[in-house]
Chains A and B, each alone.
Chain A
Amino acid sequence: MGLLRYTVARLIQAIPVLIGITVITFILANLAPGDPVRLMLQGQQVDQEVIERVEQQYGLDRPIHERYVTYMANLLQGDLGHSIQRDRPVTDLVVQRAGPTLMLVVSAYAFALITAIPLGILAATRRNEPADHISRIVALLGVSTPSFWIGIMLILVFAIQLGVLPSSGLVYPWWGPDHYGYSGYPELLYQTIRHLLLPMVALGTLQMATLMRVERTQMIESLQGEYVKLARAYGVPERTILRKHAFQVAQLPIITIVGLNLSTALGGAVLIEYVFNINGLGRLLLEAIIGLDYQLIMGITVVIGTMFVIGVIITDISYAYIDPRVTYGDRE
């Protein structure tokens, strides 16, 4: 079976997972205490009749399984329901807010990988030398420091003390330079990066620290492999061994970690968006929870869950792509 069929198979396998996500979220949202209609009325005294009419309008009077079926039917048509709090379609809200979150998470991962891999290799080749010890300390700090605190510290230093980087908001390149009143695309790009820098580092540090340690361990193990001994015995330059022979084997677990940590990163994005005042899915979710906006909570959870599942699928596929030993699930 080829890579394409494997990809399709993995996508089909994701369907039950996604259905599971909707069922669990739907049940949890409905079990949570609090009555959305009363919350919407904000304590005003109204007739029971009015409440019942509103409940009927939103379908809240029907049994839960019926409501679930309706919800799923709408979902398949791209309709995630209606936000009571904001009085707008959930789909619109989510689509609008997904961009910033994706931009944040993807850039945080890019930052983590670009820094962690060279640093991990450096630590592996300079084992128990100063560079290795420094990297160990950095990793320990990175893993044990909460990302929101890093965010606040970054704001204090770079935005408030030094005043070199903005402390809040992002620039969305897809809105174009005119929207921001920039001179053109170069300035748009520059501003996008400037705004992204601090939240990216704040969110990416944890991933960077984890990945760096994994990279170090894997490279050390890989460099002790028999195939490295063989390559040396055949006169392969040490540089090639490091960059090719040992490197490629060592990257396999990195991919796994990236996939697994995606949930941590998406969770971390919620706090980082709050700290940096970014209008992403995370902040929207936080506000929806505070306001008991069920349909919105449901919608965001389904979208984040889907993002996670897609991330895991991409991980699986890239794993299959670089490790020839991964069979595509068929019997030989």
Chain B
Amino acid sequence: MAEPLLRVENLKTQFFTDAGTVRAVDGISFEVHEGEIVGLVGESGAGKSVASMSLLRLIESPGEIVGGEITYKGETIFGLEEGPDGDLQRRDDMLSNEEMRTRIRGNEIAVIFQDPMESLNPVFTVGGQLREFIELNRDLAKREAKREAIRMLREVGIPDPEQRYEEYPHQFSGGMRQRVLIAMALACEPSLIIADEPTTALDVTVEGQIIELVDDLQEKYGTSFIWVTHDMGVVAEICDRVNVMYLGEIVEQAPVDDLFHATKHPYTNALLNSMPRPDRTVEELDPIEGVMPEAISPPSGCRFHPRCPDAREVCQRVHPEAKVVDQADGHSHRAACVKHDVFDAGYDESVPLEAEPQVTAGTPGGGEDR
């Protein structure tokens, strides 16, 4: 297989707060290949947004990337090595802050944020903001950038783009603003777009339109996407491969069909069972017991074990790293659960855990990740 566009290995991002160290992203690895839409799924607080912002090295204090390696098109976005004194230090070939800003952000990796209401600056025209980003990331002169901006507005399905160019964000509806943000991302001609819950703030009909639009444009431009969401329905519709995150870790990684039809991790299973579907009534929904623990003090062993229906005694002790449990269409199916034979942790002999009384806090959702 060709070299992936983006390779993330054992990435760790932590926040150093007064209450302690929050391990928001705790050793995740995944790849994005050219032309792929890769899902990053999980409940609120699983570390999806922090993971995606880490890729741009846009983690604000008190947060910091503390470990792992991010390689994009053969260049090192983040990497550590052992220094002469034995301490870890940043690698020499790691891109500088200035290089990140001028070469990576926007023109190589662009983002679409969750909240189209807040993401546009209220005091500048929509066209002006679009034009500024195009000028900055594509080295176009003002007039060409404006022409390009209008072309992109038309491309994302905004009627009267010449006129809308001059208007302010408050004159746009939520769906239209999200289209503007998509136009911004595509207009910079990046190879990778990180879409951080881009449809969460929209109502369902608009969500459908936006997903369709992205699907069409993705095909046309061949851009790769990292699609961050908590919505399994969206995942099914748009993603090629999926990473399921729980408490800062990727617990399952698989091509989308395998994930849905040959689910290997109890958490993914629970997520799928908690999803409303037309063929099931609300009573038949099976919400995940309890709430996700704080990333500041994760449970011992497998982090999902306190909420896991399949948990056994061994799950409290053994912390599983994701391993290949299956192969499908040249992609491996990884899962981090000791009940699979490859782990050989003695799951079958272990005694089941007594279900502890838990507060039922509903299904994954909410969308807010911060």
A252 vs B122: C-alpha distance when bound (angstroms): 11
**Counting CB contacts under 8 A, is A322 at the interface?**
yes
A229 vs B121: C-alpha distance when bound (angstroms): 11
| Interface residues in chain B, defined as those with a beta carbon under 8 Å from any beta carbon in chain A | 56, 58, 101-102, 104-107, 110-111, 113, 115, 118-125, 132-133, 136-137, 168, 170, 181, 184, 188
A231 vs B113: C-alpha distance when bound (angstroms): 11
Question: Pick the contact of B56 from A233, A236, A248 — CB < 8 Å?
Answer: A233
Known: A234-B106, A235-B101. A323 touches B123 (CB 8 A): yes
B136 and A234 within 8 A (CB)? yes
Contact with B along A137-156 (1 / 0, CB 8 A): 00000000000000000000
**Counting CB contacts under 8 A, is A249 at the interface?**
yes
**Counting CB contacts under 8 A, is A67 at the interface?**
no
The chain B residue with its CB closest to the CB of A233 is B111
B341 to chain A minimum Cβ distance, whole angstroms, is 43
A248 vs B128: C-alpha distance when bound (angstroms): 14
B56 to chain A minimum Cβ distance, whole angstroms, is 6
Question: Pick the contact of A233 from B105, B120, B170 — CB < 8 Å?
Answer: B105
A248 vs B124: C-alpha distance when bound (angstroms): 9
A227 and B119 within 8 A (CB)? yes
Known: A249-B122, A324-B123, A324-B170. A234 touches B110 (CB 8 A): yes
Kindly count the residue-residue contacts between A and B in the assembled complex, taking CB atoms under 8 Å apart: 69
A236 and B113 within 8 A (CB)? no
Chain B contacts of A322 at CB under 8 A?
A: 123
B121 and A249 within 8 A (CB)? yes
B118 and A233 within 8 A (CB)? no
A252 vs B121: C-alpha distance when bound (angstroms): 13
The chain B residue with its CB closest to the CB of A224 is B60
B137 and A235 within 8 A (CB)? yes
Chain B contacts of A233 at CB under 8 A?
A: 56, 58, 105-106, 110-111, 113
What are 18 of the A-B contact pairs (CB < 8 Å)?
A226-B119, A230-B111, A230-B120, A231-B121, A232-B105, A233-B56, A233-B58, A234-B105, A234-B111, A235-B102, A236-B132, A236-B136, A248-B123, A248-B124, A249-B123, A322-B123, A323-B123, A324-B123
Contact with B along A226-255 (1 / 0, CB 8 A): 110111111111000000010011001000
A235 and B122 within 8 A (CB)? no
Chain A contacts of B58 at CB under 8 A?
A: 229, 232-233
**Counting CB contacts under 8 A, is A62 at the interface?**
no
Q: Looking at B113, B118, B121, B124, which has the most chain A CB atoms within 10 Å of its CB?
A: B121
A325 vs B123: C-alpha distance when bound (angstroms): 8
Question: Pick the contact of A237 from B101, B107, B110, B125 — CB < 8 Å?
Answer: B101
B5 to chain A minimum Cβ distance, whole angstroms, is 18
A235 vs B102: C-alpha distance when bound (angstroms): 6
User: With contacts A226-B118, A325-B170 known, what are 15 further pairs, Cβ within 8 A?
Assistant: A225-B118, A225-B121, A227-B122, A230-B113, A230-B120, A233-B110, A234-B184, A235-B102, A235-B106, A235-B107, A248-B124, A323-B122, A324-B125, A324-B168, A325-B168
A247 to chain B minimum Cβ distance, whole angstroms, is 10
A235 vs B133: C-alpha distance when bound (angstroms): 8
A325 vs B101: C-alpha distance when bound (angstroms): 31
B113 and A229 within 8 A (CB)? yes
A229 vs B105: C-alpha distance when bound (angstroms): 12
